[in-house]
Chains A and B, each alone.
Chain A
Amino acid sequence: MTDTMQPKQNKTGISRRSLLKTGAAAVGFAAGSGVITGFPTIWAQSNITLRQFGTGVSNLNAIADKCKADLGITLEMTATDSDAAAQRAVTQPDSYDIADIEYWICKKVFPTGVLQPMDVSKLKYYDELVPLFKTGKLTPDSVIAQGTAPHTVGYVEAQDSKTFAKAPTNWFTMVPTIYNADTLGIRPDLVGRDITTWADIMDPAFKGKTAILNIPSIGIMDAAMIMEAMGNIKYADKGNMTKDEIDKTIDFLIKAKQGGQFRAFWKSFDESVNLMASGEVVIQSMWSPAVAAVRSKGIPCRFQPLKEGYRSWGGGLGLAAHLKGAELDAAYEYINWYTSGWVGGYLNRQGYYSANMVSAKKFMTEDEWGYWIEGKPAKGEIKAPDGTVMEKAGAVRDGGSFEERMGKVACWNSVMDEDRYMVKRWNEFIAA
């Protein structure tokens, strides 16, 4: 939040941390000279600690455990909801070293100066990262999706710059880690017909049995997908609507709400699972792992690909502005480790996508890779990272392969230039 709210170099935490820094720097220097390949567990002796926060989606204890084992870096993870994550990023920059946030909110968080851009040349796996995060294109001939596509907020002009660069530079705002394409989740046993388009959520047959997201900037995207699918409007950019488009979209939502079309609006992962599992809702905007969670309870649920395509989101790790010296080195080390494959495999096996597919593949079995990424029928049982069986042999992932899914992204979660007006109207929608 501009000058006044920039992180002050903290004076309080000096004693412990600076001691650690000197210690770690010495060790780092000693070890750095000799080790070239693999991940040196040099941090083990320095007891270096990195504090990371973000939503429970990716702030998994398993990652912290593995990081400790591989690098010796203690990762203190704090899970919050997505609203709180944004607040914490901006208002308490001293409280974290690594911010795990989504790209759409990065558009607002990064310019406040709480994060420092990272030097691409220090990122070991930069070249292997999916081009989606560099150019916005999955393959050279794909069309860039609407909205706050990660690459548009992925780079800044220079190390001390807060302006996003139009093309890739040497300064990365965040290293992409996790992303996915969302669509409608349905209860095939209760909808009783084929669902092919976002517009189906407005079918009077499902009156009082539908839900969309309740995070304003994402909920309006759901609405935009529906509006366009119904042929009500053609947006120039769904992710950056004009006032007039916002008005039309919100008016539409208000009408649908007053008509009793929605049962509820969900805000957290868990809410969406409960809504579906309890039968409160039969068709709703949903995440792939949430669908898997419903299914793992023995309740039929499908992640339904739709002809208009997906609404996509991506998250990444950002470095806190206050990091320097040995801690900064440790943070780079951690990020390089993060993209080196183990985490990628772990995230892929949960139904999300890793930003480094090349390395993730090495940490997945052929069958897992086939099922999760290539869209092939499972040869054996597909297990979740914790060992529970998610799918039986022969199952095919809804929506198909990685390319089929991420290649059909219609828009990314966004913050609009008119976000002030949007929130105003969104509050109106909730009040209506």
Chain B
Amino acid sequence: MSHEKRTLEFYVLAAFFALFVLFLYGPLSAILILSFQGETGGLTFPLNGVSLHWFANLFERQSVGDFGGSFKRSLVLGLMVMIVTVVVSLLAGLAFRRKFRGATALFYLAVASLVVPSIIISLGIGVVFQQVGLRPAWYTSAFGAHLTWTLPFGVLIMFAVFNRFSPAYEEAARDLGATSWQTFVHVVLPMIAPSLIGVGLFGFTLSYDEFARTLMTSGTFNTLPLEIYGMTTNVTTPVLYALGTVTTVFSFLVILATLGAILYVGRRRARA
């Protein structure tokens, strides 16, 4: 590690970064404060007292909508999307290491998938399902709609990874007599694991928060973003903010736990 002195540039950029983080968390601060809104308070200032009422309310039955069910659906859908995104983009990444017919077309199709406005995909998939006579549902049509959004991200990342991936390691493994499966599992996979985790996280986050693509593809039941949106057609309460606060705190915990695990594994590996 280099120990050069911190330059002026560092302090200027650090301040800039701090401002950026402040900007990112600005609206969250309102969510945080207002989630402690008193029992009679609303979604905007002023605060009508301070209470934990809305956190308790989060786990109660709402007058409209269903947090539990929609959260479960979004979570499962997010995980499904995450797994499929990781596997499919890894495979595609491997495929793109060699030349094959249609590679360029497929690449541009993936890019197109990224740029097609989400509301168009949503409308299109909804209509196709209806025409084919399939019943749209969050785990079929919405699942596919989300994949058209997360896969290009995954493919682009894997593309970047394998473009810089030196085949020397694989050759070395093969020279030592490893089968191609062994080479893949013991050499390639550990090296690209961080990127795969990145792809997975990206996939989950994008799916979990996706609104427009789910709008016309969700079938009978709503995912969480749709449910929240549906709830705004009746009296909404600071329980939404409580949900926001809990989500944020929970994501922090998950991230901390992941970091801890990575550090722990890293240290053990370093010792071994």
Contacts and interface: CB of A to CB of B under 8 A. Distances in A.
B150 interface: no
Interface in B196-250: 215-216, 219-222, 226-227, 229-236
A6 to B, nearest CB: 9
Contacts of A298: 40, 48
Contacts of B180: none
A96 B20 CA distance: 45
Contacts of B170: none
A2 interface: no
Interface in A44-100: 51, 53, 55-57, 59-62, 76, 78-82, 84, 87-88, 91-96
A81 B232 CA distance: 8
B27 to A, nearest CB: 14
- Which residue among A7, A61, A297 has the maximum number of chain B CB atoms within 10 Å of its CB? A297
B127 interface: yes
Nearest to B37: A297
Given A5-B130, A81-B230, A82-B233, A274 B44 contact: yes
Contacts of A56: 64-65, 230-234
Interface residues of A, number: 49
Nearest to B222: A78
Given A4-B131, A91-B126, A269-B233, A61 B42 contact: no
Contact of A278 (B45, B215, B231): B45
A93 B134 CA distance: 11
A270 B43 CA distance: 9
B102 interface: no
A269 B131 contact: no
Given A61-B63, A79-B222, A274-B42, A92 B235 contact: no
Contacts of B134: 12
Interface in A1-15: 4-5, 7-8, 10-13
A194 interface: no
A79 B227 contact: yes
Nearest to A389: B40
B231 A87 contact: no
A271 B135 contact: no
Given A11-B133, A61-B64, A95-B136, A268 B220 contact: no
B29 interface: no
B225 to A, nearest CB: 12
A293 interface: yes
- Which residue among A53, A92, A269 has the maximum number of chain B CB atoms within 10 Å of its CB? A92
Contact of B135 (A80, A94, A278): A94
Nearest to B65: A79
Contacts of B236: 269-270, 273
9 contacts: A5-B130, A12-B135, A61-B66, A268-B232, A269-B236, A273-B43, A277-B42, A278-B44, A297-B42
Interface of A: 4-5, 7-8, 10-13, 51, 53, 55-57, 59-62, 76, 78-82, 84, 87-88, 91-96, 268-271, 273-274, 277-278, 289-290, 293-294, 296-299, 386
> 4 tightest A-B contacts by CB?
A79-B230, A56-B234, A56-B233, A278-B44
Given A5-B131, A269-B232, 20 more contacts: A10-B135, A53-B220, A56-B230, A60-B63, A61-B62, A76-B221, A78-B222, A79-B231, A79-B233, A80-B226, A84-B215, A84-B216, A84-B230, A92-B219, A268-B232, A269-B236, A270-B233, A274-B44, A294-B42, A296-B40
